[in-house]
Chain A
Amino acid sequence: MYKAQQKVSFGFTEKLFPAGTHMCYIYDDEMERRKIMAKFIESGLGSGEKVAYLAAPSDPKGIEDSLAILGVKLPATIRPGQMLLADAEKTYCPDRTFVPERTIETWRALYARSRAAHFSGMRGAGEMAWIHKGIPGIERWFDYEAMLNLLVRQCPFSGIICQYDAGRLNGEALYTLLTLHPLMLVRGQIAYSPYYRPPEHWLADFSLNRAAADMFSTRPSVQSPDP
């Protein structure tokens, strides 16, 4: 049963979060990122939730190894369909364009199916390396993040974590992400963002001035994750 009011554990901290938490993870240490995401996935599976992880491996053929690279220890038994591992770029851009509304509907459908299948909840996390490829429609990325804040009010996911590589963000993009995520995770520390703006406010006042395309640089990551 879904318990929207119940506090949820993310695994990597003892702190509990209300359902519907949308968090921005700014990382500059690849090994730290893997540990945190592994805990997030394991705690979700362990508590009987459906977990969707959208990976962005450097080699698209390596998608099946993504969980092993993170170091995820799968529980002895998981239900069919409980763990959804997919290529982030193909999921966000099935036709090589990014359409925020379509992606929001995908999340909504996944949430509905997880409920229909009687999972105890649903959580998701996405790797964002692909947003630096200049894909058509990516200029509306920040609109999508704002729309996600609206979605989690209707569909209280146990948690959604967007992962951004600090080495590939420019200053303005980082500031904008702080206005779009009520919670942020930096160097293992979780904090509420004082810059956060409610989605209605953001979409009305900020959207036009915050096109994402020119904020996401295409320079490679300073990280050098192990294969």
Chain B
Amino acid sequence: MTGFQVQAEVLGKLLVAQQFLDVLPAKEEKASFMRQALKEIPGVADVHFCFQGLLLPGNAKYQPVHAQCGLDWEQLPRDISQQCCALEQLGVHCIALRTAHSLYGFMIISLENAEKFSPYEPYLVNMANAMAILMEKRELDEKAQKTLLNLEHQVALRTADLSRRNLELQEEIQQRKQLEEALSKAREESEARVRERTAELVQTNRALQRQISERQRVEKALRLSERRLHSIVSTAVDGIIVLDAQGQIEFFNPAAEELFGCAAEQVMGRHIRMLMPASYSERYIDSLFRLDGEGQSVHKEAAGLRKNSSTFPMELTVSEMQCEMVRKFTVIVRDITERKQAEAEHKRVLRQAEEERRRAEALAAEAERRWREAEEGRSILEALMEHIPEGITIADAPDVRIRKVSNYGRQMAGRSREALEGIPVERHVACWGLLRSDGITSPSGEELPLTRAVKQGEVVTEEEWVLQRPDGGKVPLLCNAGPIRDKEGRITGGVIAWRDITERKRVEEALKQADRRKNEFLATLGHELRNPLAPIRMAVQILRLHQDQLDHRLCQTVDLIDRQAQHMTRLVDDLLDVARIVRGRIQLQKETVELSDVIARAVETIKPLMDTADHQFILTLPEQPIRLKADSVRLAQVISNLLHNAVKYTQPGGKIELIAEGQGEEAIIRVRDNGVGIAAEMLPRIFDMFAQADHSPNYAPAGLGLGLTLTQRLVKMHRGSIQAMSEGRGRGSEFIVRLPKLAEAEQEAAPSADKVLPEARARRVLVVDDNADVAASLTMLLEMMGHKVRSAHAGAEALEIVPAFAPDLALIDIGLPGMSGHEVARRLRVDYPPGKLKLIAMTGFGRDEDRLRSEQAGFDHHLLKPVEIEMLETLLRS
């Protein structure tokens, strides 16, 4: 027992230190942290760590590590702590950082009191083990990370290899497709050849068949001839009848039997008349068989009568012969039914051919007429394209290949006919130097109007493009394009017409520039007018403080100056507000507001004017509170503008009415009067900037014509609408404002504006403004109010005054020359915290970012010029 016990606080520190070991990534940082943390253990003078021969920190007063330690770490025995035993003899305790698998180094503790330290040694051994385990864990994590990275690398390589193989496969597939297409084409060609060859063979076969038929006929003729040699009759093809001189039938061959449908024995010995129709006369029958000359045969046509009483056309060849000095007649009968039919068919075909010929001649005449028309159209088009002062391009479907460019178009493009005509769509952009309307980026061929017209049938109108000429000059174009269709509605091409709009662009830009300059001028004018107004209003406030010392006429004069200055301020405010809205510089400070409160505030500002004009004012407020998400100041400005407008244009003693009500999800505000009214032609322009209603001579325009413009813009910024109504001149007018109500769920009690302000007491006030008039008038006003005031015209001067004068409050202009108001505030805040000195910024800029800059510089408040005396009084009281 040493007498020293373990302290719980020290153990707590060791526990927390152990928690943080894992947070630090590097072992050197772990060592650095632990060195600091372990030095708080009783008895410990210093702590070092040895990692593979590296001593941390390196400024140890001893050389505690074995000589071999730094030389060949891997070769040292496992229980290397024995190598450091000698250190313990020197008052140094050495604890190995060891896990079950590895030795990571040593924790070397220099002791100033071994007895105090000894109770904590087991805990330090535990901590050394924990530290070693963390180092091993981190080493394993790093190895795992490295393995993971290696695997990811392999996966990436494998993915790349697969992608490459995929590409090769796709190429192979593509090649196979091409081969298949080639094969398919070859198959189609061979099938075509087979068809052609088959047709040839069919023709050849027919020829052969004809030859065969011919040969068969010849052979048959030969056989017949041979048979005729044996038996003319039995082998005759035609019917053969032999008659005697009286016309009696002596021979009737089988063919005749077949022709007439009766057997030879039925006709033998009978007169040939029985084979003729009964209508044939005796004489005619005799004439049929009479010879014209000796030895000459006669061909005649007649009708034959079959046994079944039907008739057929036949050709008769009658020859006279002498048989044993007896005159006989050989009649060859041939059935010519088919020939007659063929002749009839031949006549019909001839008639049809004649009709076809006539029709072809008519078509040829029509084609001739159309060709002449087309030729005339082509000439007109040629002349048009040559002389029209417009860029025109005609292209053919389907590849939008340019057929024709007008002469003016080529000149505008600065390119030759050869460079522009005949090119397909994929070369349009490059050959023409086309750019999108931004004049910078190049389009694709598919985007071009002509392409869209030809490929999609789109009619493109008034589209802007830019053409870059070869000399680098850029020409803005206005393009119209459309498809060309044939009679069936198919797109056969397209046409585009374009025009150089450089001059129009220049005029537009000039107009925009002029508009910008006008708005800048309005803003500047407003600021410049506002500055002199501040001292005038201050002077009026000063005079009012001495009102009891002024006579009646001077009081009236002060009132007059005050009214006119207020009027002037209002005009300037309108001018500034409109300029700000036009330039997007106004931001609404929206909050939950009660509509009746806002109306009350607006009415309060206008009521004195109504009283002066003896107007009858009727105010109707909603029964239930209506809450809006709105900028209360701007909304009050909307209502007061409308009321002010009603006051201006209503005769003394007239009636003005304000009605507020809720309708569904909207709040409705109506301002109605029975004044001069608005002419019907003026109503549509009543909200235009600088618009003035056409007043009667008794009501000269009082204002710039900005009030209603400003009112409409402010209402729109509140997502509302405004409408003007009048039944005409002398019939009064009504303005209706509609605003979205706050949803029930969003409604909350509007913050009360009522505050009881403490009485003002005398303050020490420093006024800093480089405008001497502003500074002097403000100083005078504050002094009149009973405060002690000093003024300065520059930042450095203000910094000099403050220590001696010790002001409670400093009013500082932001736009000071040299050192800005922000810098003055920053420097004052070094020695004067907010409780000691109140800093108020005065400026003409009231945007959110301006207020934030003031806050960051140390200002407590941010006031807009001209500073309202009421606001100043409030700040001096608080």
Report A's interface with B, CB cutoff 8 A. 26, 28, 76-77, 80, 86, 91, 94, 102, 105, 108-109, 112-113, 166-167, 169-172, 174-176, 178, 186-187, 189, 191, 193-195, 222
Is B603 an interface residue when CB atoms closer than 8 A count as contact?
A: no
If A26-B20, A112-B835, A222-B25 touch, whether A171 touches B32 (CB-CB below 8 Å) is yes
What does DSSP make chain B's interface, helix, strand, loop or mixed?
A: helix
Inter-chain contact B37/A175, CB cutoff 8 Å: yes
Inter-chain contact B834/A112, CB cutoff 8 Å: yes
Chain B 2-29 interface residues, beta-carbon cutoff 8 Å to A: 9, 12-13, 16, 19-20, 23-25, 28-29
B519 CB, nearest partner CB in chain A, Å: 27
Among A77, A166, A175, max chain B CB count under 10 A is at A175
Inter-chain contact A195/B589, CB cutoff 8 Å: no
Q: Which residue of A26, A102, A171, A191 is within 8 Å of B34 (Cβ)?
A: A171
Inter-chain contact A170/B36, CB cutoff 8 Å: no
Inter-chain contact A194/B12, CB cutoff 8 Å: yes
A141 CB, nearest partner CB in chain B, Å: 17
Inter-chain contact A194/B9, CB cutoff 8 Å: yes
Q: Which residue of A28, A113, A171 is within 8 Å of B33 (Cβ)?
A: A171
Q: Which residue of B23, B34, B748, B833 is within 8 Å of A108 (Cβ)?
A: B833
Q: Which residue of B9, B16, B589, B829 is within 8 Å of A109 (Cβ)?
A: B829
A109 to B856, CA, bound (A): 10
Residues of A near B452 (CB, < 8 A) are none
Inter-chain contact B25/A195, CB cutoff 8 Å: no
Question: What are the 7 closest A-B residue pairs judged by CB atoms, nearest first?
Answer: A171-B32, A171-B33, A175-B36, A171-B29, A166-B23, A194-B13, A194-B12
Nearest-CB residue, chain B, relative to A195: B13
Report B's interface with A, CB cutoff 8 A. 9, 12-13, 16, 19-20, 23-25, 28-37, 40, 589, 591-592, 746, 748, 826, 829-830, 833-835, 855-856, 858, 860
Sample of 19 more A-B contacts, CB < 8 Å, known A77-B746, A166-B24: A26-B23, A76-B746, A80-B591, A105-B830, A105-B833, A108-B833, A166-B25, A167-B25, A171-B29, A171-B30, A171-B31, A171-B33, A171-B36, A172-B36, A174-B33, A175-B36, A191-B19, A194-B13, A194-B16
B142 CB, nearest partner CB in chain A, Å: 12
A94 to B825, CA, bound (A): 13
Inter-chain contact B30/A113, CB cutoff 8 Å: no
12 A-B pairs with C-beta separation under 8 A: A77-B748, A108-B834, A109-B833, A112-B833, A171-B29, A171-B33, A172-B33, A178-B16, A186-B20, A194-B9, A194-B12, A194-B13
Inter-chain contact A80/B589, CB cutoff 8 Å: yes
Inter-chain contact A109/B33, CB cutoff 8 Å: no
A112 to B31, CA, bound (A): 43
Inter-chain contact A169/B29, CB cutoff 8 Å: yes
A76 to B855, CA, bound (A): 25
Inter-chain contact B860/A191, CB cutoff 8 Å: no
A72 to B834, CA, bound (A): 31
A145 to B589, CA, bound (A): 37
Residues of A near B35 (CB, < 8 A) are 171
B803 CB, nearest partner CB in chain A, Å: 18
A169 to B23, CA, bound (A): 10
Residues of B near A80 (CB, < 8 A) are 589, 591
Nearest-CB residue, chain A, relative to B835: A112
A200 to B834, CA, bound (A): 25
Residues of B near A102 (CB, < 8 A) are 830
A17 to B68, CA, bound (A): 55
A94 to B830, CA, bound (A): 13
Inter-chain contact A169/B834, CB cutoff 8 Å: no
If A108-B833, A171-B30, A195-B16 touch, whether A187 touches B23 (CB-CB below 8 Å) is yes
Nearest-CB residue, chain B, relative to A86: B856
Q: Which residue of A77, A112, A171, A195 is within 8 Å of B24 (Cβ)?
A: A171
Residues of A near B834 (CB, < 8 A) are 108-109, 112-113
Inter-chain contact B32/A170, CB cutoff 8 Å: yes
B794 CB, nearest partner CB in chain A, Å: 21
Residues of B near A195 (CB, < 8 A) are 13, 16, 37, 40
Residues of B near A176 (CB, < 8 A) are 36
Residues of A near B40 (CB, < 8 A) are 195
B50 CB, nearest partner CB in chain A, Å: 16
Residues of B near A86 (CB, < 8 A) are 856
A166 to B33, CA, bound (A): 12
A89 to B16, CA, bound (A): 31
B782 CB, nearest partner CB in chain A, Å: 23
Inter-chain contact A113/B860, CB cutoff 8 Å: yes
Q: Which residue of B23, B34, B591, B746 is within 8 Å of A28 (Cβ)?
A: B23
Inter-chain contact A174/B833, CB cutoff 8 Å: no
A28 to B12, CA, bound (A): 23
Residues of A near B835 (CB, < 8 A) are 112
Residues of A near B13 (CB, < 8 A) are 194-195
B157 CB, nearest partner CB in chain A, Å: 24
A219 to B530, CA, bound (A): 55
Residues of A near B830 (CB, < 8 A) are 102, 105
Among B9, B16, B28, max chain A CB count under 10 A is at B16
A187 to B858, CA, bound (A): 37
B195 CB, nearest partner CB in chain A, Å: 70
Residues of B near A222 (CB, < 8 A) are 25
Residues of B near A94 (CB, < 8 A) are 826, 856
Nearest-CB residue, chain A, relative to B857: A94
Residues of A near B20 (CB, < 8 A) are 26, 174, 178, 186
Residues of B near A105 (CB, < 8 A) are 829-830, 833
A179 CB, nearest partner CB in chain B, Å: 9
Among A105, A108, A189, A222, max chain B CB count under 10 A is at A105
Residues of A near B19 (CB, < 8 A) are 186, 189, 191
A127 CB, nearest partner CB in chain B, Å: 18
Nearest-CB residue, chain B, relative to A27: B23
Nearest-CB residue, chain B, relative to A105: B833
A54 CB, nearest partner CB in chain B, Å: 12
A115 CB, nearest partner CB in chain B, Å: 10
A50 to B277, CA, bound (A): 135
Residues of A near B23 (CB, < 8 A) are 26, 28, 166, 174, 186-187
A195 to B36, CA, bound (A): 10
Nearest-CB residue, chain A, relative to B21: A171
B396 CB, nearest partner CB in chain A, Å: 51
Nearest-CB residue, chain A, relative to B16: A194
Residues of A near B16 (CB, < 8 A) are 178, 191, 193-195
A108 to B835, CA, bound (A): 10
Residues of A near B30 (CB, < 8 A) are 171
A223 CB, nearest partner CB in chain B, Å: 11
If A80-B589, A109-B858, A191-B16 touch, whether A174 touches B24 (CB-CB below 8 Å) is yes
Nearest-CB residue, chain B, relative to A175: B36
Nearest-CB residue, chain B, relative to A99: B830
If A105-B829, A112-B835 touch, whether A172 touches B25 (CB-CB below 8 Å) is no
Nearest-CB residue, chain A, relative to B13: A194
If A112-B834, A175-B36, A186-B23 touch, whether A170 touches B829 (CB-CB below 8 Å) is no
Residues of A near B32 (CB, < 8 A) are 170-172, 175
A171 to B40, CA, bound (A): 15
Among B31, B35, B834, B858, max chain A CB count under 10 A is at B834
If A191-B16, A195-B13, A195-B16 touch, whether A169 touches B24 (CB-CB below 8 Å) is yes
Nearest-CB residue, chain B, relative to A112: B834
A194 to B13, CA, bound (A): 6
Residues of A near B36 (CB, < 8 A) are 171-172, 175-176
